[in-house]
Amino acid sequence: MKIICIGRNYTEHIKELNNETPEEPVIFIKPDTALLRNNNPFFIPDFSNDVHHEVEVVVKIKKPGRHIPLGFAKDYYDEVALGIDFTARDVQSQLKAKGLPWEKAKGFDHSAAISAFIPLGELTNEVPEGIYAAAFSLEKNGMVVQSGNTNQMIHNVDEIIAHVSEYFSLRIGDYIFTGTPAGVGAVKSGDQLKGFLAGKEMFNFVVK
Ligand code: ZN
């Protein structure tokens, strides 16, 4: 399986990092060794002094596809999770300055924290729009540090799937991280991170 991630998908987050708003989704991929599950602790890697949390809604691909038309994209997922795209911001800044790929900053071991999946229908119980207007947030040590709503995405989940599948064949079990809202910031040893999606606690783990 692969972990496909979308960058710069929320306007307020683009502003906080002084990035340009992209015309097409910004795509990068993490290897399967990036997965962190089951509320296991996240260990800050030695090579970074500035690892940021990016809370993101994640969908799981349920059938194979490529060149998926926009109108059919919704048939390719029916479960959703909440995750954190951990980012070594200091490393990423150095790479960006040199125009180099972001992999070392984004794809390192355990950089893709992910909750258990829930059926999309659980979101529809909260709001009729379901995945298209789902509220989510991240608490750090009991304080809300990021909150967003999927209705703020520049490219919604279906548009992401249609676009990504022009370049990468999607397979059953692939994950798509759909971008982070504003409020990203550094984590430090001892922090407790709790994520909420549509009012439901999705993950709760510590940083070491
Ligand atoms: Zn991200």
* C-beta separation of 161 from 176 below 8 A: yes
One-letter identity of residue 45: P
Q: How close is the Cα of 48 to the center of ligand 1, in Å? A: 17
The average pLDDT across 112-132 equals 95
Residue 57 φ then ψ, to 5°:
-80, 140
Any idea what the CATH number is for the domain that residue 194 is in?
3.90.850.10
26-30 and 200-206 strand pairing:
unpaired
Show the domain range for 124. 3-206
Query: Is the pLDDT higher at 53 or at 14?
Result: 53
Neighbouring C-alpha atoms within 13 Å toward the C-beta of 128? 0
Q: How close is the Cα of 100 to the center of ligand 1, in Å? A: 17
Q: How close is the Cα of 91 to the center of ligand 1, in Å? A: 15
The predicted structure's pLDDT at residue 131: 97
Q: How close is the Cα of 8 to the center of ligand 1, in Å? A: 8
The first and second tokens of residue 187, run together, are 């984590």
Q: How close is the Cα of 72 to the center of ligand 1, in Å? A: 25
pLDDT tens per residue, range 145-174:
999 999 999 999 999 999 999 999 999 999
Q: Is the pLDDT of residue 101 over 90?
A: yes
Q: Is the pTM of this model over 0.75?
A: yes
Q: How close is the Cα of 113 to the center of ligand 1, in Å? A: 11
Q: How close is the Cα of 125 to the center of ligand 1, in Å? A: 27
Indicate the number of domains in the chain.
1
pLDDT tens per residue, range 37-84:
999 999 999 999 999 999 999 999 999 999 999 999 999 999 999 999
Burial pattern 102-140, b for ≥16 Cβ within 10 A else e, equals bebbbbbebbbbbbebbebebbeeebeebbbbbbbbbbb
Q: How close is the Cα of 136 to the center of ligand 1, in Å? A: 14
Confidence of residue 14 (pLDDT cuts 50, 70, 90): confident
* C-beta separation of 139 from 205 below 8 A: no
The predicted structure's pLDDT at residue 22: 86
Instruction: Name residue, tokens 């490393």.
Output: 91
Q: What angle do CA 98, 106, 180 make, to 5 degrees?
A: 105
Return mean pLDDT, the chain. Answer: 96
Q: How close is the Cα of 69 to the center of ligand 1, in Å? A: 25
pLDDT tens per residue, range 170-195:
999 999 999 999 999 999 999 999 99
Q: How close is the Cα of 5 to the center of ligand 1, in Å? A: 7
The average pLDDT across 90-109 equals 97
Q: How close is the Cα of 28 to the center of ligand 1, in Å? A: 9
Q: Is the pLDDT of residue 21 over 90?
A: no
